[in-house]
Structure formats: C-alpha cells, structure tokens
C-alpha cells in the first residue's frame, strides 16, 4: 500500500504546485486591477484602474482606440472617511438598461436608452464602503458615487478630468447664474479659475462635453476648477459641506457625465436626460410647448405694469397664432399691499382680466415672478393656487442665482408644487437642465445662458452654444430681438435662424410687434416654427465658427444657421433624408431679408450666401409637382 500512498501524495503536491502556478498571475492582477466598460465596439470605452500601492481609483476614456480623457482621479471624502485612497475591491454587479420614454420638448420627443451599468464595491481597511456606478452608452460615459447611510456629511470630491494639454477647449467662466460666455482655449492655456461644468473639448478621440445629471437638493452643484498650465479640471462643489440625513438612506451623488463622439453625435445626444430618473408627473397632458411673445425687451417694466399694453401684446400674439404671451416684471408691483386675508384678494390685480381676455383669443398667459416671493412654503401656498385659479399657464421664476444645497432643496419643492398646480416653468437666473426635463417634463426651458439680454455677446459665443449649453437641455436665449440693432453681434437672418439653432420648449421671441411687421419674412417664419421636435441633426458645425442645425416636425425640416467671421458662401449638406426637397431660406439681402427657393435632393449641398457674422433660416418639405411653398 505504500507505493499508492506515495503516488497519491506526489500527485497531490503536483496538483497544488500547478494550482499555485496558474493562480499567481490572477493574484498579481488583483493587486493592479482594472475594469473596462463599453456598450459596443464602436462606442466610447472607459477604463477604471485601482492602484495596487495607494488604493486610489482612476478613470480614463477612449474612443476608436484614441484618448478622450486621460487617467483621472475618482474619489469622495466624507466626515467619516476618505474614500479616495486605500481602497480594496469587494465585488461587481452588472446590468443592462433598455428603456423608452417620451418627452414634451427637447431634441426629439421619443427616446430610446441603451446602456450597460456596472456597480463596483470598494472598502477601506477600516470598513468604510464606497460603491462606484459606471454607465456606458453609444454617446457617453458617466459615473456616480453611492454611499451607505451613516457616512456623514460630504466634504468634497477628488473627482477630476485630465485632458491632453493641447486639446481644444470651449469654456464658459463660471457664474452663479450660469451666464458666462464661452470662449476657446487649449486645455492647459485656459486662465486659472472656475468654469461651468458643461465644458467642451476636442482631442484626437473626438469631442467630449463634460456635464452633470440628476442634481437634487440631496447634494451640491458642481463647477470645474482649473490651474493654468495643466490639462486638469477638478470638480469643486458649491458647498464646503454637503449635509446628509441618515433617515434618507444611502446617498447617490449626481452623475459625472462625459458626452463623447463626433460633433454630430455630441450635438444630438440626450445622454444627460437619459441618465436622469423617470418622469414624476403622472399625467403631463397639460404640458404644451409653444412660441411665446415675450414683452420684456419689447416694452420693459412699464409694459408689465400696463393692462392695456399687455392686452395689445395678446392681440398681436393671437393674430400670429402664437400660443403664449409672457408678462414680465412689474405686473404685481403692489402685491405687498394686497390683503391676502380677503378671500377675493386677487381682485386687486388686473391679471385675471388679462387671462380672460387672452383665453378668449386662444392665447395662454405666462407670468414672471421673483424667487423671493416663492421662497417659503407659505408664499408658495399663497401664489401657486391663485395663479392656477386665474388660469395662468406657466411661471417664469427668476433670480435663484445659486447651486448651493439649500437652493437645490428649494428647486425640489417648487418642481413638485408647480406640477401639482399644472403650471409649466421657465427658470431664469438659474441652474442648467442636468436631466431635470426628463424627471419634471413641465420644466419647458431654463436660462443659464448669456442670452439676448446681454450686450457683450460675440458671434463666436453664439456659434458655440449649440455644442455646449444647448446640448444638455432647453435654453431660453430669447431670440428674435430685431430692435436691438447694435446691441447684438449678428445679422437679421442669423437672428431668425437662432429660433431653430437653439432649442427651447417655450421659444420666447424677444422682439417688438413693430420690428416683426418691418420684417414680414421673419414674422412669417416665426408663425411656422413649432417648439417641439421629432428629430434633430447637425448639418455643419465648428464651435466658435459655424453651426447649422435641422430639426424635424412631421414631414418638414426647419433649418437654422449661425456664423462668426467674414461673409462667405455657406455650404450645408442637406442630410435630411432621400428624395427631392423644396428648400426655402430666409437670408440677408442688400435691402433687408430675402427669400430663396430651390429644389434639392437629400444629400445635396445647400449653398447660402451669408453676410459677416450672419446666418440663415429655412424650411425643407417634400417636393412634388405643384408644391410652391413649405409654409402652411
């Protein structure tokens, strides 16, 4: 029996040695672990690495084998633990996301979401836990931190984005109202300072727009901090301490998103909406996008204080079949004198009379109101039911001017309460969309942009907005201010084109009735444009130089082009589908706006004569014999 025993022992030892030899490489990998994430071979790919010495995480992104984001730190610090280092890997979970949803506004109404999600769990030696959730789609990579209850307040993130130093960068200087202008730099040459967290970069891997999604009062808004001479952009929170409540359970931070692809992909992307939670409005049938006659730049506070002036604006909107008229500051300037203990206190305002007058003419009323008058629950209980009872359709709320946690908690309240009272919302002096329009579809538009009111805008800034601010959601730039000659950097035809180049669920037109009547081609074009789109395509673009977009409603494509620099013949690929198209354009002529008509095939190049810092607007409809106009 001795020989068989010796043979068995030898076989066992040989097996153990073989096992050790085969497991050694796997153990080495565990000390320097890495994970990759992608939804398809042609899609952007993220790589997360855990350093075997420091326990630090870094994330990089590539597309088509080329660098998009260089290895960048990932981590978060709470009052209980530093979760940016000394981490060890615990386990991994994967799932596939395949969703459909419908919006009320935006680049297209029907949405399809396909993403791969991976949840990686880590812990420190002391047992503090961190889950990192990564999502990958065809047009983006995003990650967020999930912390268990009891983690304490958040003191900051070590999150950052490392860009190649020579990457082109289009950055907007950070402001609390998000109204900084976008200018071009390289990643390393941008001056030391803080920038909007919607920042566009171009590398040999394509374009990448940094963004944020699913920001609520459970956290703090972010901006990008940069030191000149490096390509690093650090995430800096608006609050030095983000307050948390254990009763709320685990904390999921906002998504740090990277919208990635060629310029057409980035421009068309709905990635930040796709990352956001599903709609909280059960029945959004009362939410209706549309064109708005906005009277602030047309008449100022004096018009806002005049019932007669507002009735005249309503009448003009009705003549044009524009569905809304907006009454800006001044209409409730005596509100503090109203006796709100009187059940009929609202009769002290002429607003109900205006609403009734407008309703009879098929026009809805939108009213401006200062955030300080909706600051408390008591104030909201005073105003919101009253506005609903009057028949007001939407509120334009102004001067939040903060992305700190207390203001974000106010957003959480006002969003739910305006939805309950069937009031659409336009936020001014505000945060930027960050997925809000998927979760709260009655948010029709937000400012968060250096728009028409600004007197220092440049043509380059105007041609950058479709690739930066407007990528992430509706933008209330308020185009159409023809009367502001000398106060805007563009031509009349470009001003018409902005109404399509810039997407907004409530497209607030900022001109005077007189300025429209003096430009009948512009007026007729505005009569045609919808504010909700079935599809959006970039036809031609170079940030800071040109942007030509096509947006479809039914079987018609609306075209908008804006340009910076000298006069030229703009060449616009008509990538709107096969067949023959009648294309009508509104262009700048020697004596004003002129119309041009031509029949082209899909895929042909549309040539448009553009003046210096000019542009164009257009409509393309299927051509057949006898069709002489796209206007209906």
Is residue 475 within 8 A of residue 502, CB to CB? The reply is yes
Is residue 128 within 8 A of residue 83, CB to CB? The reply is yes
The sign of the dihedral angle between the CA atoms of 297, 302, 305, 306 is negative
The sign of the dihedral angle between the CA atoms of 29, 34, 38, 43 is negative
Name which of 197, 168, 68, 164 is nearest 544 in CA terms: 168
258, β-bridge pairs: 141, 210
Torsion of Cα atoms, 566 then 568 then 574 then 575, to 10° = -40
Q: At what angle do helices 405-420 and 377-390 cross, to 10 degrees?
A: 30
Helix (H, G, I), strand (E, B) or coil at 21: helix
Q: At what angle do helices 377-390 and 351-360 cross, to 10 degrees?
A: 40
**Residue whose structure tokens are 């589908």:** 577
- Stated length of the chain: 632
71, β-bridge pairs: none
Contacts 24+ apart (CB under 8 A), 39-45: 39/114, 39/115, 39/116, 39/136, 39/137, 39/138, 40/138, 42/138, 43/136, 43/137, 43/138, 43/139, 44/68, 44/136, 44/139, 44/140, 44/141, 44/258, 44/260, 44/261, 45/136
Task: Specify the DSSP element, H or E, that contains 92.
Answer: strand 87-102
β pairing state of 364-370 and 394-398: parallel
Task: Specify the DSSP element, H or E, that contains 95.
Answer: strand 87-102
Residue 376's contacts (CB-CB under 8 Å, 6 or more residues apart) are none
- In terms of DSSP H, where are the helices of 233-305? 263-268, 271-275, 296-304
Residue 274's contacts (CB-CB under 8 Å, 6 or more residues apart) are 99, 111, 113, 115, 137, 438
List the structure tokens of 9.
């022992």
How far apart, in whole angstroms, are the C-alpha atoms of residue 303 and residue 54?
64
Query: Which string of DSSP letters, residue by residue, matches 329-380?
Result: TTTTTTGGGS-TTSTTGGGGSSHHHHHHHHHHTT-EEEEEEEGGGGSSHHHH
How far apart, in whole angstroms, are the C-alpha atoms of residue 490 and residue 486?
9
The sign of the dihedral angle between the CA atoms of 385, 388, 392, 393 is positive
How far apart, in whole angstroms, are the C-alpha atoms of residue 224 and residue 227?
10
The sign of the dihedral angle between the CA atoms of 506, 271, 211, 133 is positive
Residues marked active site are found at 398, 453
């Amino acid at each position: 029996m001795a020989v068989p025993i010796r043979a068995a022992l030898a076989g066992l030892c040989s097996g153990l040695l073989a096992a050790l030899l085969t497991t050694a490489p796997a153990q080495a990998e565990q000390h320097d672990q890495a994970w990759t994430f992608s939804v398809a071979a042609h899609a952007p790919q993220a790589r997360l690495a855990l350093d075997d010495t420091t326990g630090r995480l870094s994330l990089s992104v590539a597309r088509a084998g080329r660098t998009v984001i260089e290895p960048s730190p990932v981590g978060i610090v709470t009052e209980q633990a530093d979760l940016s280092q000394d981490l060890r890997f615990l386990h991994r979970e994967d799932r596939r996301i395949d969703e459909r949803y419908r919006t009320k506004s935006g680049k297209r109404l029907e949405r399809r979401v396909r993403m791969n999600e991976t949840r990686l769990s880590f812990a420190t030696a002391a047992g503090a836990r961190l889950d990192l959730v990564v999502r990958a789609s065809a047009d983006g990579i995003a990650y967020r931190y999930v912390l268990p209850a009891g983690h304490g307040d958040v003191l900051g993130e070590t999150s950052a984005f490392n860009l190649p130093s020579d990457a082109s960068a289009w950055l907007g200087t950070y402001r609390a109202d998000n109204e900084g202008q976008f200018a071009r730099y390289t990643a390393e040459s941008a001056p030391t300072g803080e920038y909007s967290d919607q920042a566009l970069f171009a590398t040999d891997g394509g374009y990448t727009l940094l963004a944020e999604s699913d920001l609520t009062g459970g956290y703090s808004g972010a901006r990008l901090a940069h030191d000149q001479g490096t390509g690093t952009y650090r995430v800096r929170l608006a609050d030095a301490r983000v307050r948390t409540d254990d009763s709320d359970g685990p904390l999921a931070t906002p998504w740090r998103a990277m919208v990635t692809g060629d310029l057409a992909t980035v421009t068309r992307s709905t990635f930040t909406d796709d990352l956001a939670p599903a709609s909280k409005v059960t029945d959004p049938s009362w939410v209706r996008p549309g064109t708005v006659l906005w009277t602030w730049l047309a008449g100022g506070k004096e018009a806002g204080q005049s019932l007669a002036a507002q009735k005249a604006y309503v009448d003009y909107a009705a003549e044009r079949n524009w569905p809304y008229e907006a009454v800006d500051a001044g209409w409730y300037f005596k509100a503090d004198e109203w006796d709100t203990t009187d059940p009929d206190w609202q009769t002290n305002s002429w607003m109900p009379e205006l609403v009734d007058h407008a309703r009879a003419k098929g026009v809805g009323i939108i009213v401006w109101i200062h955030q300080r008058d909706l600051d408390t629950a008591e104030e909201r209980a005073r105003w919101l039911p009253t506005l609903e009872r009057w028949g007001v359709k939407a509120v334009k709320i102004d001067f939040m001017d903060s992305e700190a946690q207390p203001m974000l908690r106010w957003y959480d309240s006002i969003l739910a309460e305006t939805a309950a009272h069937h009031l659409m919302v336009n936020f001014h002096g505000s945060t930027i969309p960050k997925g809000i329009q998927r979760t709260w579809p009655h948010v029709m538009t937000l400012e968060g942009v250096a728009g028409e009111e600004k007197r220092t805008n440049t043509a380059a800034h105007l041609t950058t907005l479709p690739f930066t601010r407007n990528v992430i959601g509706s933008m209330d730039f308020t185009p159409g201010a023809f009367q502001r000659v000398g106060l805007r950097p563009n031509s009349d035809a470009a001003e018409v084109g902005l109404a399509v180049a810039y997407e907004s669920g409530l497209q607030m037109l900022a001109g005077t009735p007189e300025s429209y009547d003096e430009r009948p081609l512009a007026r007729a074009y505005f009569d045609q444009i919808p504010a909700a789109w079935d599809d959006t395509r970039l036809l031609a673009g170079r940030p800071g130089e040109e942007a030509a977009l096509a947006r479809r409603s039914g079987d018609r494509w609306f075209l908008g082009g804006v340009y910076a620099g000298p006069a030229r013949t703009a060449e616009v690929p008509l990538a709107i589908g096969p067949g023959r198209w009648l294309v009508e354009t509104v262009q700048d002529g020697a004596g004003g706006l002129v119309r041009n008509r031509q029949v082209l095939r899909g895929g042909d190049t549309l040539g448009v004569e553009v003046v210096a810092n000019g542009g164009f607007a257009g409509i393309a409809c299927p051509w057949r014999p006898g069709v002489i106009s796209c206007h209906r």
